[in-house]
Amino acid sequence: KSLYLIQIADITGVYGVSFLVAALNGLLFDLLVNRESKWRTTASVLYAVLLAVVLFYGSGRLAEGEDGREFKVSVIQGNISQDKKWDARFQKEVIDTYKRLTLKAMPEGPDMIVWPETALPFIFGYNEDLTEETLSFQKGLETYLLFGSILLNSTEPGGSSFTNSAVLLSPQGDVASVYDKMHLVPYGEYVPFRNLIPFVRRLTAGIGDFIPGEEYLVMKTPFAKIGNLICYEIIFPGLVRSFVEKGANVLVTITNDAWFGRTSAPYQHFAIAVFRAIENRVPVIRSANTGISGFIDTRGRISKTSDIFVEAVLTEKVAVGTSRSIYTEYGDIFAYLCIAGAMLIIIRNIAYSRPFLETSSSKNF
């Protein structure tokens, strides 16, 4: 709704938008409460000029067309409830749901199909029968399939551990790329300080204690270089930027927001992805188990979305990002400059207050 205002995020990151909001609140305080401030008029003029520049920049950015190569993507929203997701009695039902919805998308001729986070109700690669069933199904599609799955990692000292991963299958049914989630959810996917407090291990005994990935892996296909974010990784600007910095020209985020229920959280989670698209000038493809799934272009425009807690199949043409933004190149330099400026103001105020304090003290004596 405020696309003109937030286009500056490709320069300043999301902190530039926060700066505008904070500056407006400071100005309103001076105008309505701190009426003795001698800077009221100057501040009002400066903010008006700043706002005009931001809106002018935003309108120019939005007027630009998408010039990247297009490819077609279908996202699948299975709408699997939490009580069924890991219940072995519903395993076949869950798998059949994703197969059915995927086949529904095939007449559109997608170059890639995306399933949500932990879409498979089994450990891919460990359960041989169900893994082979998934690969056989994939070979019949003759297109790329990207899905979320728990994987078994047997390289950890002291036993096996699990990763929350995204797996990309080629049209031939081969595993083309695997990305392991790097930023795990505390107390959901791992327990902090579990070695110091042994009894808390029981908190994750049912699902295993996940280990984080270590690589910003970019998945390469003939039509795009994909940076894959799992669940709430999309909310971290620096993490997302690292994928684009390493060559990703499309972002795919897979998630399971069923935990949130019918609250504002699924909508907020989706809205955050808009900023990541603008900051790095790359499109975002989102597949969520219970919604919201959809597509966001490099200007933050939302082309298609699903409702929450319904099955959905969405297909859209996506144009890859073609240019590297200032934010991608330099990161949160604007935020660092703001911190430096604030420190200088504090030091200046302390320095100017000393003569006043010394004068007041001498008068008291």
CA angle 360, 361, 363 (to 5 degrees): 65
Residue 206, pLDDT score: 47
14-32 and 40-63 are packed helices; what angle lies between their axes, rounded to 10 degrees? 150
244 pLDDT higher than 90: yes
Q: Across residues 154-183, what is the average pLDDT?
A: 85
Residue % of the chain over a pLDDT of 90: 72
Q: Which CATH architecture has domain 70-328?
A: 4-Layer Sandwich (3.60)
Q: What does the pLDDT look like over 10-47, one tens digit per residue?
A: 999 999 999 999 999 988 888 888 777 677 788 889 99
**How many angstroms separate the CA atoms of 119 and 121, rounded?**
6
Yes or no: say if 248 and 240 are a contact pair by the CB < 8 Å rule.
Answer: no
Q: What does the pLDDT look like over 52-62, one tens digit per residue?
A: 999 999 999 99
Residue 153, pLDDT score: 80
Q: Across residues 145-153, what is the average pLDDT?
A: 93
Yes or no: say if 221 and 40 are a contact pair by the CB < 8 Å rule.
Answer: no
Q: Across residues 137-144, what is the average pLDDT?
A: 93
Confidence of residue 276 (pLDDT cuts 50, 70, 90): very high
Q: What does the pLDDT look like over 294-347, one tens digit per residue?
A: 999 999 999 999 999 999 999 999 999 998 999 999 999 999 999 999 999 899
- Domain boundaries of the chain, sorted by first residue: 1-64, 70-328, 338-365
94 pLDDT higher than 60: yes
Q: Across residues 231-253, what is the average pLDDT?
A: 95
Residue 201, pLDDT score: 57
**How many angstroms separate the CA atoms of 10 and 282, rounded?**
10
**How many angstroms separate the CA atoms of 229 and 164, rounded?**
11
158 pLDDT higher than 80: no
- Listed residue (317, 315, 227, 220) closest to 279, CA to CA: 227
Q: What does the pLDDT look like over 184-215, one tens digit per residue?
A: 888 777 777 666 766 655 554 544 578 899 99
357 pLDDT higher than 80: no
**How many angstroms separate the CA atoms of 351 and 38, rounded?**
21
159 pLDDT higher than 60: no
Specify the pairing of strand 312-319 against strand 225-230. unpaired
When the pLDDT of each residue in the chain is averaged and rounded to a whole number, the result is 89
Query: How far does Cα 320 stand from its chain's mean position?
Result: 17
Yes or no: say if 112 and 221 are a contact pair by the CB < 8 Å rule.
Answer: yes
Residue 87, pLDDT score: 87
Residue 188, pLDDT score: 75
pTM of this structure: 0.88
231, 235, 237, 242 alpha-carbon torsion, rounded to 10°: 0
Confidence of residue 362 (pLDDT cuts 50, 70, 90): low
Q: Which residues are catalytic?
A: 117, 181, 231
Mapping DSSP to helix (H, G, I), strand (E, B) and coil, where does residue 168 land? Answer: strand
